């Protein structure tokens, strides 16, 4: 144990000192070059380690994954597009895609509605109550997916009929006279998927609330006063003035949550491992890779995930260029 | 443009004062000063807060109950029937002895600290080059980095596993340090660069006139001026790595080097040991991020708004 801590400390000191020495040497190296060349080469030397990390850990593997997606389970032989064909025609994977689609539709929208509601309500409280409420609702974001799953596993827990219930939901349910229900196994109308989505909503609502609340506070007072003088009701002010004014923030929150949803792994993996008809794309990827040892299917799944994300990527780059132009 | 504003992926109107959760706020509507919120507003908000906190309360309370009590009666009976509460600290010592959470805790620290601190300097140098140096291909490289923010890190796992396998470093700490450094790099470069772009150009110009080299300017001027954004990134990355299950499973896996999320996941899969251990393990896993979060909320929110495209 002591050795592990020492290892970590050595890594930190070694990593940081090593990086400093590396940059110092690269800089000295550039200074040896004649003036004009020094200026030309130096930027790339400053960029070198970061670009190397990105190339090695993101760009090269992405290309390689696309290649693997056309190869067999052990990545030894090319099989054309059959991984895609087999996956898309299997009813299990169609189910997974359908579940993923449900998550995409429900969670970002739900997070925004909840975030807006809480932000609007908290905005009308005394500063101290506002701060307390916001901290409570924001806290789940810090604790991570596995801990959240531990918390909610306990909420959804079911004991056999006749015993006392220890799970909160069944405690309430049986308190009203119902029979205990194994909530996570009810796939009728995808009820269990929705119960899993509740966990992600619980985690992310605080994030939406913080950004939206800041944006709402940024709406100019004069605009609101003018609308009030013209006799607009609070509802009209909210939907016709506040919402349009915070549009960019709404989009940011929507996209961020959407990306989070597409990558959702730990909640589903820990709660059901995709069983009982709750599978989503990121969990399926993991199980194809490690349970079925099929790197071809896993790669094809993740390439499909990448394709789903292309519109977001294009939007993100456009947004960035617009921002740069305005800078 | 304020610093906070600049580091968001898409422009977010964040007045400087409101970057912390419920931080000092300018009250907007006259009639609301003093919190004369209607009763229904207070009730609805109180109910939402209650709904948010009750699941966690169940975990916290159960982690202090004996095995019999935790598995035979609901945790809420602690309030309805306090005489039979049956509280204990024993679950925590059992979590150490039976589930070996102590080792996992040390592993988590050993994984998270280097994976948080090492990328900072690398990103800062790159961000400096992007902000203050002119070179061909700069805009293109920057756009590449913005694009990579969106790319799910899952795309990298299959090839990396193969490389790690042939190098024989799977399951070691350097394997996951390097992965987190690589995966975190686009975000780090992106937010640090956006922050640096808001620093006054005159400072750099006058340093240049005084004969300072890029290296000196970076080291003596820009790096100290960028401390807030570096802190934001550090907190964000810390929480992300600490809570990460996927990469831990892929690059470390269950075993002697496993961090807390894997250990907790095993407790979850192994419920024969009872709710009291699972909940104690859960609280033990959460405690560091909660402390980091509560003590550094302001920076955390900034890092979050900055990193809002990373999932």
Q: What is the pLDDT of residues A102-118, one digit of tens each?
A: 999 999 999 999 999 99
Nearest residue to B100 via CA among B235, B255, B250: B255
Reply yes or no on whether the pLDDT at B14 is more than 70: no
Cβ contacts of B155 on chain A, cutoff 8 Å: 58, 61-62, 65, 302-303, 305-306
CB pairs under 8 A between A and B: 405
Helix (H, G, I), strand (E, B) or coil at B67: helix
Cβ contacts of A285 on chain B, cutoff 8 Å: 154
pLDDT given for residue B105 in this prediction: 93
pLDDT given for residue B35 in this prediction: 54
pLDDT given for residue A184 in this prediction: 93
pLDDT given for residue B232 in this prediction: 86
Tokens found for residue A247 = 């549009």
Q: Which helix (H) or strand (E) holds A217?
A: helix A191-217
Q: What is the four-CA torsion angle of B190, B193, B197, B199, rounded to 10 degrees?
A: 130
Percentage of chain B modeled with pLDDT above 70: 84
pLDDT given for residue A38 in this prediction: 84
Residue of B215, B249, B290 with shortest CB distance to A27? B215
B162-181 residues touching A, CB cutoff 8 A: 162, 173-174, 177-179, 181
Measured at the CA of A246, the angle between CA A241 and CA A249, to 5 degrees, comes to: 165
Q: Give the highest mean pLDDT range of B12-16, B68-72, B174-178.
A: B174-178
Residues 6+ apart with CB under 8 A from A155: A167, A168, A169, B55, B58
Question: What are the phi and psi torsion angles at A311 (to 5°)?
Answer: -60, -40
Subunit contact B37:A124, Cβ cutoff 8 A: yes
pLDDT given for residue A185 in this prediction: 93
Tell me the average pLDDT across B239-259: 94
All structural domains of chain B, each given as residue ranges with its CATH number in brackets, are 37-88 (no CATH), 97-306 (1.10.3720.10)
Subunit contact A303:B290, Cβ cutoff 8 A: no
CA–CA distance, B36 with B42 (Å, rounded to integer)? 10
Query: In this structure, how many other beta carbons lie within 10 angstroms of the beta carbon of residue A97?
Result: 19
Residue of B41, B146, B294 with shortest CB distance to A316? B146
Cβ contacts of B162 on chain A, cutoff 8 Å: 75
pLDDT given for residue B3 in this prediction: 30
Mean pLDDT of chain B: 84
* Range name among A99-108, A145-154, B135-144, B299-308 with the lowest pLDDT average: B299-308
Kindly give the parts of chain A with pLDDT less than 50: none
Subunit contact B162:A122, Cβ cutoff 8 A: no
Reply yes or no on whether the pLDDT at B263 is more than 90: yes
Percentage of chain B modeled with pLDDT above 90: 53
Alpha-helical regions (H) of chain B:
3-6, 39-62, 67-72, 77-80, 90-97, 101-132, 138-150, 157-167, 173-196, 201-209, 214-216, 223-225, 227-243, 246-247, 260-269, 275-295, 297-306
Chain A nearest-CA distance from B75, in A, is 7
Cα–Cα distance list, A284 to A72, A306, B282 (Å): 17, 15, 25
Subunit contact B21:A42, Cβ cutoff 8 A: no
pLDDT given for residue B302 in this prediction: 67
pLDDT given for residue B65 in this prediction: 93
Helix (H, G, I), strand (E, B) or coil at A78: strand
Q: Which residue of B has its CA nearest to A290?
A: B250
User: Tens of pLDDT along B83-116?
Assistant: 877 889 999 998 888 888 999 999 999 999 999 9
Tell me the average pLDDT across B169-176: 92
Q: Is A178 on the interface with B (CB under 8 A)?
A: no
pLDDT given for residue A115 in this prediction: 95
Q: Is A36 on the interface with B (CB under 8 A)?
A: no
């Amino acid at each position: 144990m002591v050795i592990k801590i020492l290892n970590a400390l050595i890594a930190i000191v070694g990593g940081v000192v090593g990086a400093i020495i590396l940059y110092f040497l690269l800089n000295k190296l550039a200074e040896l070059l004649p003036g004009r060349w020094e200026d030309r080469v130096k930027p790339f030397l400053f960029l070198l380690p970061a670009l190397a990390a990105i190339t090695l850990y993101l760009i090269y593997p992405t290309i390689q994954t696309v290649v693997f997606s056309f190869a067999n389970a052990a990545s030894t032989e090319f099989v054309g597009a059959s991984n895609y064909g087999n996956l898309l025609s299997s009813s299990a994977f169609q189910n997974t895609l359908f579940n993923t689609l449900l998550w995409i539709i429900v969670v970002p929208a739900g997070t925004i509605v909840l975030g807006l509601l809480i932000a609007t309500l908290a905005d009308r409280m005394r500063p101290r109550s506002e701060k307390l409420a916001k901290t409570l609702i924001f806290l789940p974001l810090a604790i991570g997916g596995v801990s959240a799953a531990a918390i909610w596993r306990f909420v959804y827990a079911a004991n056999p009929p006749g015993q006392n219930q220890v799970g909160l939901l069944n405690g309430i349910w049986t308190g009203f006279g119902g029979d205990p229900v194994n909530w996570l196994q009810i796939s009728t109308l995808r009820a269990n998927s929705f119960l899993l989505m509740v966990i992600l909503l619980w985690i992310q609502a605080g994030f939406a609330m913080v950004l939206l609340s800041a944006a709402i506070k940024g709406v100019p007072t004069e605009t609101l006063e003018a609308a009030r003088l013209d006799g607009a009701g609070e509802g009209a002010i909210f939907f016709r003035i506040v919402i349009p004014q915070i549009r960019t923030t709404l989009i940011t929150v929507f996209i961020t949550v959407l990306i989070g949803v597409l990558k959702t792994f730990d909640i589903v993996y820990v709660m059901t491992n995709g069983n009982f008809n709750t599978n989503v794309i990121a969990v399926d990827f993991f199980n194809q890779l490690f349970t079925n040892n099929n790197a071809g299917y896993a790669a094809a799944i993740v390439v499909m995930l990448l394709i789903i994300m292309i519109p977001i990527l294009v939007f993100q780059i456009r947004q960035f260029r617009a921002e740069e132009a305005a800078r | 443009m304020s610093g906070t504003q600049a580091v968001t992926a898409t422009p977010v109107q964040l007045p400087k004062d409101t970057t912390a959760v419920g931080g000092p706020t300018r009250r907007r509507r006259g009639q609301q000063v003093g919190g004369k919120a209607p009763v229904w507003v207070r009730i609805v908000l109180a109910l939402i807060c209650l709904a948010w906190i009750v699941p966690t309360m169940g975990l916290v309370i159960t982690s202090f109950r004996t095995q019999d009590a935790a598995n035979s009666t609901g945790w809420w009976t602690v309030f309805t029937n306090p005489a039979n509460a049956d509280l204990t600290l024993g679950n925590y010592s059992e979590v150490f002895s039976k589930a070996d959470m102590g080792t996992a805790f040390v592993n988590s620290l050993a994984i998270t600290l280097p994976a948080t601190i090492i990328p900072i300097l690398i990103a800062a140098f790159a961000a400096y080059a992007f902000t203050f140096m002119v070179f061909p291909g700069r805009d293109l490289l920057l756009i590449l980095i913005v694009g990579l923010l969106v790319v799910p890190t899952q795309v990298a796992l299959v090839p990396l596993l193969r490389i790690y396998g042939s190098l024989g470093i799977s399951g070691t700490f350097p394997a996951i340090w390097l992965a987190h450094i690589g995966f975190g790099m686009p975000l780090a470069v992106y937010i640090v660069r956006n922050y640096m772009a808001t620093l006054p150009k005159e400072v750099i110009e006058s340093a240049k006139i005084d004969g300072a080299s890029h290296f000196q300017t970076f080291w003596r001027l820009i790096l100290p001026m960028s401390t807030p954004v570096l802190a934001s990134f550090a907190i964000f990355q810390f929480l992300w790595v600490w809570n990460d299950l996927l990469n831990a499973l892929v690059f470390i896996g269950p075993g002697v080097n496993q961090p807390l999320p894997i250990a907790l996941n095993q407790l979850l899969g192994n419920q024969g040991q009872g709710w009291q251990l699972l909940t104690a393990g859960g609280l033990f896993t959460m405690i560091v991020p909660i402390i980091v979060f509560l003590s550094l909320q302001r920076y955390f929110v900034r890092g979050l708004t900055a990193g809002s495209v990373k999932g």
